[in-house]
Homo-oligomer: A and B are copies of this chain.
Amino acid sequence: MAAQVWSIVVAGGSGQRFGQLKQFALLDGRPVVERAVLACRPSSTGVVLVVPAETTDDYGADVMVEGGATRSESVRRGLSAVPPEADVILVHDAARPLASPALFRSVLEALLDGGADAVIPGLAVSDTIKQVDQNQHVTATLDRNELVIVQTPQGFSADVLRRAHDGCADATDDAALVEALGTPVRVVPGEPGNLKITTPADLRLAEHLLRDGA
């Protein structure tokens, strides 16, 4: 029997106002969040969308859930709507409308065929990254060969993701909670075009990439 794969698309929580979120803006005629839900479709048995309270449209998702006060809390609310039969859960940012079907397949393959319990897309870092103190003085130059820029979709064995969220901790991504369990997290190659849209400039860039076919 094929594995049950559910996706959670995180589009905002209770602290955020619908109108301020770039993921509800139109990207080439279609809301960013709708494109993010669509991106999950080919790989998913079902899609849970986590949104601010005032949202009325379902953007093509199967289940709608109201978000929490933090990103991690929003994911936990999404998790509670994922059926217990799910084998694998993907968590995807609503602000990443350009993730390709190939990227979803690559994350799933590492989970289902590769035996990993946690898989995230990562991009090599081409810029120099430094650590700074509170006064904006450099404290260290990091070895960029050891760094990756992390994207979504992030994929997990369902029980691992549920355990990671048991503690109700907060983090900038779900993998960090899984890392805290001591579970190995594997990185697969991300996509340069898999932009996170947070500013009007990002939106223009995404429009450009979409039309360019990049």
Contacts and interface: CB of A to CB of B under 8 A. Distances in A.
A156 to B, nearest CB: 13
Contacts of A129: 125, 129, 147-150
Contacts of A138: 120, 175, 179, 184-187
A126 to B, nearest CB: 6
B208 A205 contact: yes
A127 interface: yes
Contacts of A198: 126
B144 A130 contact: no
Nearest to A180: B141
Given A128-B149, A132-B148, 9 more contacts: A127-B151, A129-B147, A129-B148, A137-B185, A137-B187, A138-B185, A141-B179, A142-B142, A204-B208
The 6 closest A-B pairs by CB, nearest first: A138-B185, A128-B150, A141-B176, A136-B187, A128-B173, A128-B172
Interface of A: 120, 122, 125-133, 136-142, 144, 146-151, 171-173, 175-176, 179, 184-188, 192-193, 196, 198-199, 201, 204-205, 208, 212, 214
